[in-house]
Every structure is written in C-alpha cells, then in structure tokens.
C-alpha cells in the first residue's frame, strides 16, 4: 500500500491528502457546534474536488485520451462524481452528515484504488476511440455518484427515521427528511442512469453493430435500472413503509456495485466486452 | 422546505389508491401464473417438436397454452395492470429473471451445457428455460405484460402540457420494444468474409438466439474489399522498475505448484526525462536516465596520426552491405577467430585482415596464375600496413588501395560490398562512442546511471526492449529483487483496422466507395457495414459485419423520448412545485 502510494503521481498524492483533510474537517464540522466548522469542511471538500478535477484533466492530457479506460481511472472518476453530487446535495439540503459519509467512502475508494494502480498508460482499442463513449461513461458515473449519495441518504433514513435538524445557513431550524433527500437525489441519478444506458446502446451499435447483446454487464445495467424504476413507482403507493423503500435503494446501490465490480464472478463474464481489462 | 417536498410527492400521484400488501399479493399471483403458462407453453412446443411434430403444429400448441391463459385471466389481469403494484412487481420480476440469465451460462452448445451442470442439473435448468432466458417465452411474456400495462396507463391518463413528460417516458418503452420486435423478425446481422480484391454478395447470418452463424442471405449488390490495413499504436518507451518475486517465496511456490516460474511484477514506470533522479521504494537505490538513443549504434573514432602508433593490436572497422541489411564488422589481426569471416554465402567472399601479410600468402598471390588452393574461394584480403586490399574473385586477382570512407563493391555478389571506417594499428586507441543513427525508434537504447547513497561511485547500464529476435536488455540491481527495464506497452494495442470497400451493382459496376473502421460503419441502401473481424495470420483478410435493422431509428427515437420524458417529468418547468 505504501509502496503503491509512493509511486503514484504528485497530483494523486495531493488529491488523496486533501480528501483526508476534508474528511477530518467533516468529523469536526458535523459534531462541533458553530456554523463555521461546517463551512470549513465543505470548503476543504470543494478544494479536494478541484484537485481531483485537475488530476483527471492532467491524466487526460498525459494519456492523450479520455481517462476512462482502466479500472483505476474509473475509480478516480467515481470519486469525482460522488464529490460533485455530494456538494450539490449538501448545498441544497444543508446537511453536513452526507458530506462526512461521502468523504469517508471516497477515502475508502482511494485506498482501494491504490491496490489497482495503473503503472502504465494503456492505449485505447479501436472500439473506444470515439467521442461516443465519453457521454456514455460520464452519464453512468454521474448516475452512479448520485445513486451512491442517494444510498447514503437511505442509510441515514434507517438510522434517523424521524429526520434530523439541518444546519441551515440562516440559522433557522428546519428538519430534513432523509426519505425525501433520497428520492430527490435518486431522481437525478435515474435520469443519468437512463441516459447512460441508452447512450451505451447507441454507441454499441456503432462499434459492434449491436445495440443490445445480452452481455452480462449490459444485463446488470438493466437490472439496476429496473430496480430504481421500481423504486420510483413505489412512491405512488401511499401506504408504503418508508423503511422498506430505503432498503430498495440500498439493494439498488448494491446492484450498482456488483455491476461495477462483480462481473468477474459470473460464469457468463468470459464473453463480456465490458469487464475491465486490468485486474 | 423539506416538508413541502413530502406534501408534493403525496399530492402528485393521487390516482392509484390500491392498498399496500394486498395489491402486491394479487399481482404476484397473476405474474406467477403468467410465468408458469410461458414455461408450459414453451415446454410443450419443445416436447412436440422432439417427438416429430412439425414446427407449425408445435408452435401452435405453445401459443394455444398462452392464449388459454390470456382468455382465462384477461379480466383480472387487465384490471390490475395499471396499478403501481403491477409496475413494481413486473419490473422487479424482470430484474430477477435477467439476473438468473447472468448466473447460468446462456446459449452454449447442448453438450457443453450438460457437462457444466450435470445430467439432472442441466435438465432442470432447461425445463425452466434458464439456458436461454432472454429468448424464453416466460421472459418475453413479462415484457409483453409490461408493454400492455404501459399502453393502458397512457390511454387512461389525459394528455396535457403538464404530463407530457409522463406520457413520453411511459410510451418510450413500448416504442423501443416495438423496434426491437421489428428487428428481431425483419432484420438480420451477419458477416461477409473477404480477401483483398474479392467481391461477395452472400452474407453469413447469425442466429438471433445464439449468435452462431446459421444460414446465409444475398444482398442486392456486392461488396468488394479493395484493401485492408491494420496498425498498432506508436511505441511509447518508458523506464520501468520491476521486482522479481522474493526468492524464498518463489521457492515455496515451486515446491507446492510444480515449479511455477517466478513472475516479475512491474512497480512503476516513468517517462524518458533526462537526468531526473528516481528512487526505488524501500531502498536507498537511485537511478537516472543519462541518455536515450532512438536508433542506437556505436561510432568509432581513432586518432589521426595513425602512422606514429605502434601496431600492437591492429584491426579494421567496416560496414558491410548485404542482402540482409547493413552490419558493423570489426576484424582484428592478432585475435584468432576475429581475424576473418568465412561466409561466402552472405558477403560473396571471405574477408581476412592482416597487418603484415604472411610470406606464404604473398607467394601464393604473386604466382601466375594465383595459387589454385588459395583461389578455391573468393577472398577479400586486407593488408593493413601496406594499405592495400587484394580482391581474389573468381580466381582473378585485383589490388586496390585501402581508403577509409570509400565504398568497395564485392563483384561476386550483387549488391554486396563494404565501407572502411577505420584502419587502426592499436585497438586500445579505438574508441566506441554510443550514438544514434536517426531519430526513428529503430533500435531504442536507454543509458541509466544507478547509484546508492552509501556506496560511492555509480554503475552504468544499457537498457533496451526485447523483440522477436532478441531478449530485452534489463539491469538487475545486485543484491536486490529489483530490475530496471526499457519497454513500451502502448504499441500492444491496435490503433485501427480499416477496410476500403467498393459497392458493385448487379453488372459489376462500382457504384459507391467508402472505407469502414471500428465505430465508422458504412450505410448503404438500408444495410450497415462494419469492421468486425481480422486475422493476424492473414493480413489480406477482413471480416465485414453486415446488419439490416429496419427498427433501428424507431429504437433511437424511443431512446430520445425516454430521456426527454423523464427529464421533463422530474424537472419540467410546468410543474410549479419545484422550489
């Protein structure tokens, strides 16, 4: 782990450390009284996010191609989208706890990314040498980032079913209902999930003359879409138990993680063209 | 603010009032019945066909089962089909069905499937159609039911400006499923396998279920492959740190697993930045790139005052020109084995170097005609001190003065010859300076300096990549498991495949010309042509994928209105509730 960290780029090191600092600030900001701590926390988190942006752009320039090819690159991009959605959600709902959990997850993703570090820059195979795959990947990772944050909201609802006083900028006390938070963020995620799925089909048609091939990764993308589509329809049943609904979101996030990481474990994965090439 | 959201959610969807769990029970009961009917229907079809019934009879029997279900349960199904309970249940059941299709191998050959899951296991899986979920009747029936529900929902809800998004989002899956269905029945996907110069109009068609080639179809025109190109990325050489697996560890493995060779692991790679010090983690070993030669060679220099130097270790430095390319050659008079090359095949003559010609050789050369034994082979004899070259070619002797820089052809072999770079009396004064012949990456070599904080002085090493003819030159750092190397990974990936195609009409006239690449298909007359296949062993072969998908634009239209509809539904301006 330390060896891997040693050989990463300076920008990676700086970004990682900035996220750790933001995490620490969130610990203080969530539990200490005083608005200023929260402001410091989100500011530091914002700085880490900017650093992550620079890291991705730098990689894009160095590799001479969008940095969405390897598993390692995709993990860094996942960090970026989780940060973005988390910042937006925190500003909109004025809740610091989500930022804390996002920062904690991001630290975990960074540690995991270290074990999957790219040593070499890999060139793109012909199928990926098209701008068409860029909106597909960006949509998907925005969706994954948003649905991950929605998942954090679902967990928070289970812990705080009665809601929580949010840190309001005007000092007014108002309560945040995490089921509403989850729904609002999941809606955003679902829109991008749909766009990502359909852009993928559109690109697949141009690259493999096939918009849908019942490939395991495609199937699991469909499964996650179906789960969140079902979740959105649950809202139409008045008497629905909100706790059960939170579990639907958590299962949906688990399906996303399985789609992202679990394809190697499927017997049908051998012929998948989506499974990341470097282990 | 948060409270407003809750109110909004509850007031928006006031249309469905069916109660919680009771609604789900009824829906799931009917969905299970639907799945069961699908299974019975398809199994009866399979059973009848296995027992000799014609395709039509067995298909009709299968449909009858589904039709019976439809008639019997139409009323209760239609009643619940527009409830959120139905939407949720069918979406989740399809999700589970899709997941099953990823846990079990799909559409593998019959024998392979049986071997993988055993006699009983595979029979059970086949009964539930889990060997081909995505084309099974129960799976497709679920989509049909979902489509029906969407139709009813769309018809029921009055169209207004406010719910346009709702309608688009709920109509789009029907449109996509319709396009899918059109392609399934009226489209095909296949391949034309071509050699350069060949033209064909017969397409081998893939089976829609299994993706195996099944039959063929004819196009109303022919496709000719004019040229196929295949190129890799340009190499990008980088300095790399590798580690051999720890020796103790490697031995342990070899004891347990029949001597698996230790696998080197790459730890880091760096761009070729000159003089930038790098450190190996966990050690105090540092190294830096001191020089990089894209097209490495040695340049020899020798002092000008050649006559004043004593002939202690004389020799000659030549560049040979042969059919196999140019090669540097050094002949040394006092070193047995290095004083001549006896290879008439490649150069056309033996080449020998003497500082002073031996007396018997002079005698043999001076005979008229030249000594028979001596003239048996063609010879080029260099006499260093007297600065002469004796060409003994086809039993005829010619003598020429030895001049550095001049090119001498060898008459016995067309195209063969040599240039003299240096004639030297003492090799100790000859200096080999590494240099590059050009800026092209023909023979890349990196020179690195390795040092250790505790030990004064440094080591120099040449690193070069391996290729088909030679192993790579890496530097193992003594006493450590680390080694340094110069390699490129980038050129392992293909840059592009490209086929130049010409469309020929019935009379063989060229009517259209275009190239196809991956991601750049050719659209002609409703048919799409793709770069899909190549063979590394057949550079003139190209596999051109062909698809005819009349439903494609319908599907794209469905995609578009689905995203637009969902966006409008969630964030449309006509909804005033957004704060």
DSSP state of B306: G
DSSP state of B399: E
Q: What is the mean pLDDT of residues B544-564?
A: 95
Q: What angle do CA B49, B111, B203 make, to 5 degrees?
A: 75
Question: Taking CB atoms and an 8 Å cutoff, what residues of chain A touch B1?
Answer: 174
pLDDT at A102: 95
- Can you tell me the distance from the alpha carbon of B534 to that of B517, in angstroms, rounded to the nearest whole number? 12
Q: How far is CA B324 from the centre of its chain?
A: 31
Phi and psi torsions of B251, nearest 5°:
-65, -40
Within-domain flag for A198: yes
DSSP state of B212: S
**How confident is the model over B504-532, as pLDDT tens digits?**
999 999 999 999 999 999 999 999 999 99
Same domain, A141 and A32: no
Helix axes B20-50, B137-156, angle to 10 degrees: 140
Four-CA torsion B398, B402, B405, B408, nearest 10 degrees:
10
ipTM over 0.85: yes
Same domain, A154 and A277: yes
Within-domain flag for A194: yes
Q: What is the mean pLDDT of residues B364-385?
A: 89
B297 and B455 Cβ atoms separated by less than 8 Å = no
> Among candidates B228, B231, B269, B272, which has minimal Cα distance to B492?
B231
- Total of domains in chain A: 2
B143 and B151 Cβ atoms separated by less than 8 Å = no
- The residue out of A119, A151, A173 marking a domain boundary is A119
Which of B6, B18, B82, B95 is most worth mutating to test chain A (most A CB atoms within 10 A of its CB)?
A: B95
- Burial degree of A240 (CB within 10 A; 0-12, 13-18, 19+): middle
> Contact A234/B238, CB-based, under 8 Å?
no
Of B236, B496, B545, the CB nearest to A126: B496
Same domain, A142 and A275: yes
- Can you tell me the distance from the alpha carbon of B359 to that of B382, in angstroms, rounded to the nearest whole number? 15
Q: How far is CA B485 from the centre of its chain?
A: 24
- Can you tell me the distance from the alpha carbon of B497 to that of B154, in angstroms, rounded to the nearest whole number? 47
As given in the structure block, the two tokens for residue B286 are 């540092």
> Contact A267/B268, CB-based, under 8 Å?
no
Q: What is the mean pLDDT of residues B56-78?
A: 89
- Can you tell me the distance from the alpha carbon of B118 to that of B112, in angstroms, rounded to the nearest whole number? 10
Beta-carbon count within 10 A of B425 CB? 22
3-state secondary structure B134-202: HHCHHHHHHHHHHHHHHHHHHHHCCCCCCCHHHHHHHHHHHHHHHHHHHHHHHCEEEEEEEECCCEEEE
Same domain, A165 and A249: yes
As given in the structure block, the two tokens for residue A135 are 């909106």
Cβ neighbours of residue B230 under 8 Å, at least 6 residues apart?
A: B494, B496, B497, B498, B534, B539
Of A121, A236, A268, the CB nearest to B16: A236
As given in the structure block, the two tokens for residue A51 are 């650093």
- 3-state SS assignment for residue B326: strand
Q: What is the mean pLDDT of chain A?
A: 89
> Contact A121/B236, CB-based, under 8 Å?
yes
Q: What is the mean pLDDT of residues B402-420?
A: 90
Q: What is the mean pLDDT of residues A187-210?
A: 93
Residue in chain A closest to B266 (alpha carbons) equals A119
Same domain, A242 and A148: yes
Within-domain flag for A127: no
> Among candidates B353, B71, B319, B113, which has minimal Cα distance to B210?
B113
Same domain, A252 and A157: yes
Phi and psi torsions of B260, nearest 5°:
-75, 135
Phi and psi torsions of B533, nearest 5°:
-140, 150
pLDDT at B149: 93
Helices assigned H by DSSP within B320-430 = 344-347, 359-366
pLDDT classification of A270: cutoffs 50, 70, 90: low
Residue in chain A closest to B235 (alpha carbons) equals A123
Q: What is the mean pLDDT of residues A137-159?
A: 96
- Residue A24 belongs to what domain range? 9-119
**How confident is the model over A226-256, as pLDDT tens digits?**
999 999 999 888 888 889 999 999 999 999 9
pLDDT at B21: 67
Q: What angle do CA B134, B140, B142 make, to 5 degrees?
A: 120
DSSP state of B540: T
Nearest chain B Cα distance for residue A124, angstroms? 7
- How much of chain B exceeds pLDDT 90, in percent? 52
pLDDT classification of A35: cutoffs 50, 70, 90: confident
pLDDT at B463: 94
Same domain, A79 and A213: no
Of B106, B495, B530, the CB nearest to A268: B106
Same domain, A274 and A178: yes
B182 and B554 Cβ atoms separated by less than 8 Å = yes
Within-domain flag for A247: yes
- DSSP conformation letters of chain A: -HHHHHHS-HHHHHHHHHHHHHHHHHHHHHHSSSHHHHHHHHHHHHHHHHHHHHHHHHHHHHHTS-S-SSHHHHHHHHHHHHHHHHHHHHHHH--HHHHHHHHHHHHHHHHHHHHT--SSPPPPPGGG-STTHHHHHHHHHHHHHHHHHHHHHHHHHHH-TT-EEE--TTS--EEE-HHHHHHHHHHHHHHHHHHHHHHHHHHHHHHHS-S----HHHHHHHHHHHHHHHHHHHTT-TT--HHHHHHHHHHHHHHHHHHHH-GGGSTTGGG-S-S-S--
Same domain, A174 and A241: yes
Within-domain flag for A76: yes
Within-domain flag for A124: no
> Among candidates B459, B489, B7, B416, which has minimal Cα distance to B242?
B489
pLDDT at A24: 95
Of A120, A175, A207, the CB nearest to B519: A207
Within-domain flag for A99: yes
pLDDT at B370: 85
Residue B380 in this model has a pLDDT that exceeds 80: yes
Q: What is the mean pLDDT of residues B360-367?
A: 88
Domain spans of chain B? Answer: 2-156, 189-232+493-548, 238-295+437-450+474-491, 303-429
3-state secondary structure B25-53: HHHHHHHHHHHHHHHHHHHHHHHHHHCCC
**How confident is the model over B299-343, as pLDDT tens digits?**
888 887 888 888 899 999 998 888 777 888 899 998 888 998 888
> Contact A126/B567, CB-based, under 8 Å?
no
Chain A, chain B: beta-carbon pairs less than 8 Å apart: 177
DSSP state of B478: T
- 3-state SS assignment for residue B373: coil
Paired strand residues for B127? none
- The residue out of A119, A144, A177 marking a domain boundary is A119
pLDDT at B1: 36
Cis peptide before B369 (omega within 30 of 0): yes
B319 and B421 Cβ atoms separated by less than 8 Å = yes
As given in the structure block, the two tokens for residue B9 are 């959610």
Same domain, A23 and A70: yes
- The residue out of A96, A119, A142 marking a domain boundary is A119
pLDDT at B209: 66
Nearest chain A Cα distance for residue B518, angstroms? 6
B245 and B263 Cβ atoms separated by less than 8 Å = yes
Within-domain flag for A169: yes
More confident residue, B499 or A208: B499
Helix (H) or strand (E) holding B113: helix B110-117
Of A125, A130, A234, the CB nearest to B494: A125
- How much of chain A exceeds pLDDT 70, in percent? 93
């Amino acid at each position: 782990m330390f060896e891997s960290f040693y050989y990463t780029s300076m920008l990676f090191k700086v970004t990682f450390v900035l996220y750790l600092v933001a995490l620490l600030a969130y610990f203080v900001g969530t539990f200490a009284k005083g608005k200023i701590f929260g402001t410091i926390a989100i500011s530091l988190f914002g700085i880490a996010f900017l650093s992550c942006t620079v890291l991705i752009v730098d990689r894009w320039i160095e590799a001479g191609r969008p940095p969405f090819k390897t598993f390692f690159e995709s993990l860094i991009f996942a960090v970026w989208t989780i940060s973005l959605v988390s910042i937006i959600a925190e500003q909109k709902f004025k809740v610091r706890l989500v930022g804390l959990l996002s920062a904690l997850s991001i630290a975990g993703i960074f540690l995991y990314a270290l074990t999957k570090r790219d040593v070499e820059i890999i060139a793109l195979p012909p199928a990926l040498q098209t701008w068409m795959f860029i909106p597909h990947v960006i949509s998907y990772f925005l969706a994954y980032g948003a649905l991950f944050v929605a998942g954090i909201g679902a967990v928070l609802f289970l812990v705080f079913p009665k809601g929580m006083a949010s840190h309001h900028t005007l000092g007014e006390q108002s309560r945040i209902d995490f089921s509403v938070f989850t729904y609002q963020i999941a809606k955003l995620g679902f829109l991008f999930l749909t766009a990502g799925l359909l852009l993928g089909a559109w690109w697949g048609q141009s690259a493999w003359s096939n918009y849908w091939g019942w490939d395991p990764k495609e199937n699991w993308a469909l499964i996650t879409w179906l789960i969140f589509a079902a979740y959105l329809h649950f809202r139409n049943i008045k008497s629905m138990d909100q706790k059960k609904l939170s579990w639907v979101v958590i299962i949906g996030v688990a399906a996303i993680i399985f789609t992202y990481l679990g394809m190697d474990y499927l017997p049908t994965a051998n012929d998948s063209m989506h499974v990341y090439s470097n282990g | 603010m948060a409270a407003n959201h809750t109110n909004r959610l509850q007031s928006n969807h006031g249309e469905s009032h069916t109660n919680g769990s009771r609604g789900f029970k009824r829906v799931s009961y009917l969905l299970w019945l639907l799945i069961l009917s699908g299974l019975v229907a398809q199994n009866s079809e399979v059973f009848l066909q296995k027992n000799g019934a014609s395709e039509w009879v067995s298909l009709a029997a299968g449909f009858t089962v589904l039709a019976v279900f439809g008639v019997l349960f139409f009323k209760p199904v239609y009643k619940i089909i527009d409830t959120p309970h139905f939407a949720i249940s069918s979406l989740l059941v399809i999700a589970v069905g899709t997941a099953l299709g990823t846990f079990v191998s799909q559409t593998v050959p019959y024998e392979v499937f049986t071997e993988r899951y055993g006699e009983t296991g595979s029979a059970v899986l086949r009964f539930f159609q889990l060997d081909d979920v995505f084309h099974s009747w129960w799976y497709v029936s679920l989509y049909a039911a979902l489509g029906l529900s969407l139709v009813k929902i769309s018809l029921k809800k009055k169209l207004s400006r406010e719910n346009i998004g709702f309608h688009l989002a709920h109509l789009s899956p029907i449109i996509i499923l319709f396009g899918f269905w059109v392609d399934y029945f009226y489209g095909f996907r296949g391949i034309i396998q071509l050699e350069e110069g060949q033209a064909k109009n017969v397409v081998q068609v893939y089976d829609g279920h299994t993706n195996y080639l099944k039959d063929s179809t004819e196009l109303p025109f022919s496709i000719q492959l004019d040229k196929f190109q295949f190129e890799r990325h340009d190499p990008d050489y980088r300095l790399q740190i590798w580690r051999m697996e720890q020796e103790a560890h490697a031995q342990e493995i070899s004891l347990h697993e029949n001597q698996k060779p230790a696998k080197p692991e790459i730890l880091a790679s760096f761009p070729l930045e000159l003089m930038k010090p790098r450190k190996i983690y966990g050690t105090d070993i540092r190294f830096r790139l001191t020089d990089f030669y894209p097209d490495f060679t040695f340049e020899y220099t020798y002092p000008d005052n050649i006559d004043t130097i004593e002939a202690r270790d004389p020799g000659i430095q030549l560049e040979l020109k042969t059919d196999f390319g140019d090669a540097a050659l050094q002949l040394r008079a006092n070193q047995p084995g290095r004083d001549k090359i006896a290879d008439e095949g490649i150069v056309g003559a033996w080449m020998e170097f003497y500082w002073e010609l031996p007396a018997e050789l002079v005698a043999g050369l001076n005979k008229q005609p030249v000594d028979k034994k001596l003239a048996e082979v063609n010879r080029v004899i260099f006499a260093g001190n007297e600065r002469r070259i004796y060409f003994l070619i086809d039993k005829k002797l010619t003598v020429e003065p030895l001049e550095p820089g001049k090119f001498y052809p060898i008459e016995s072999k067309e195209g063969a010859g040599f240039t003299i770079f240096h004639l030297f009396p003492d090799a100790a004064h000859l200096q080999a300076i590494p240099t590059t012949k050009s800026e092209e990456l023909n023979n890349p070599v990196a020179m690195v300096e390795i040092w250790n904080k505790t030990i004064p002085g440094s080591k120099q090493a040449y690193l070069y990549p391996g290729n088909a003819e030679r192993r790579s030159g890496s530097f193992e750092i003594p006493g450590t498991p680390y080694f340094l190397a110069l390699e490129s990974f980038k050129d392992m990936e293909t840059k592009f495949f490209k086929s130049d195609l010409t469309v020929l009409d019935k009379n063989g006239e060229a009517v259209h010309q275009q190239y196809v690449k991956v991601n750049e298909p050719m659209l002609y007359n409703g048919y799409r042509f793709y770069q899909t296949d190549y063979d590394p062993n057949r550079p003139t072969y190209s596999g051109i994928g062909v698809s005819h998908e009349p439903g494609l634009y319908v599907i794209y239209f469905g995609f578009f209105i689905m995203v637009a509809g969902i966006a409008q539904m969630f964030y449309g301006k006509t909804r005033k509730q957004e704060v």
